[in-house]
Amino acid sequence: MSNKKLITAALPYANGPVHIGHLAGVYIPADVYARFQRRLGQDVAFICGSDEHGIPITIRAKKEGVTPQDIVDKYHEIIKKSFSDLGISFDEYSRTTDKKHYEVSQDFFKTLYENGKFTEEVSEQYFDEQANEFLADRYIVGTCPNCGNDNAYGDQCEKCGSTLSPSELINPKSMLSGNIPVLKPTKNWYLPLNEYENFLNEWIIEGHKNDWKPNVYGQVKSWLNDGLKPRAMTRDLNWGVPVPLPDADGKVLYVWFDAPIGYISFTQQWAEKNGKNWKDYWQNPESDLIHFIGKDNIVFHCIIFPAMMKAHGNYVMPTNVPAFEFLNLENDKISTSRNWAVWANEYVEEFPGQQDVLRYALLSSAPETKDNNFTWKDFQTKNNSELVGIFGNFINRVAVLIHKYYDGVVPNGNVNAPELNEVSKSAKEIHEFLEKFEFRNALTALMNLARFGNQYLQTEEPWKTIKDNPEKAAQSLFVGAQIAVGLAQLCEPFMPFSSEKLLNMFNVQKMNWNDVENSKVLIESGHKINEASLLFSKIEDDVIEAQIQKLENTKQNNKKTNPNAKPMKEEISFDDFGKIDLRIGTILEAEKVEKADKLLKFKVDTGIDVRTVVSGIAESFSPEELIGKQVMVLVNLAPRKIRGIESQGMLLLTSKPDGKLSFVTPDDSVENGIDVG
Annotated binding site for ATP: 336
Q: Do 127 and 181 form a contact (C-beta atoms < 8 A)?
A: yes
- Strands across the sheet with 43-50, in order? 92-95, 43-50, 4-9, 287-292
CB count in 10 Å sphere of residue 353 = 11
Q: Do 188 and 130 form a contact (C-beta atoms < 8 A)?
A: no
DSSP 535: -
Q: Do 235 and 136 form a contact (C-beta atoms < 8 A)?
A: yes
CA angle at 9 for the pair 359 and 19, rounded to the nearest 5°: 45
Spatial separation of the C-alpha atoms in residues 480 and 532, rounded to whole Å: 14
DSSP 135: P
DSSP secondary structure string for all residues of 357-387:
HHHHHHHHT--SSS-EEE-HHHHHHIIIIII
Inter-axis angle of helices 255-274 and 99-114, to 10 degrees?
Answer: 120
Q: Do 616 and 602 form a contact (C-beta atoms < 8 A)?
A: no
Q: Do 511 and 522 form a contact (C-beta atoms < 8 A)?
A: yes
In degrees to the nearest 10, what's the CA dihedral of 248, 252, 254, 259?
140
Report the candidate in 472, 456, 473 with the shortest Cα–Cα distance to residue 421. Answer: 456
Residue 343, strand partner residues:
19
Amino acid at 624: E
Spatial separation of the C-alpha atoms in residues 56 and 165, rounded to whole Å: 17
Distance of CA 153 to the CA centre of its chain: 20
Pairing of strands 630-634, 650-651: antiparallel
In terms of Cβ atoms closer than 10 Å to its own Cβ (0-12, 13-18, 19+), residue 42 is: middle
DSSP secondary structure string for all residues of 384-417:
IIIIIIIIIHHHHHHHHHHHHHHTTBPPP--TT-
Pairing of strands 582-592, 675-676: antiparallel
Amino acid at 374: F
Spatial separation of the C-alpha atoms in residues 636 and 266, rounded to whole Å: 54
In degrees to the nearest 10, what's the CA dihedral of 353, 356, 362, 363?
170
Q: Do 193 and 302 form a contact (C-beta atoms < 8 A)?
A: no
Report the candidate in 501, 279, 490, 482 with the shortest Cα–Cα distance to residue 398. Answer: 482
- The values of phi and psi at residue 234, to 5°, are -135, 160
Annotated binding site: 144, 147, 157, 160, 336
Q: Do 149 and 160 form a contact (C-beta atoms < 8 A)?
A: yes
Report the candidate in 428, 347, 357 with the shortest Cα–Cα distance to residue 391. Answer: 357
Max Cα-Cα span within the chain: 112
- The values of phi and psi at residue 182, to 5°, are -115, 155
DSSP 585: E
DSSP 295: G
CA angle at 650 for the pair 644 and 652, rounded to the nearest 5°: 145
Range list of β-strands (E), 3-162: 4-9, 43-50, 92-95, 119-128, 133-134, 140-143, 152-153
Annotated binding site for Zn(2+): 144, 147, 157, 160
Inter-axis angle of helices 439-460 and 421-435, to 10 degrees?
Answer: 170
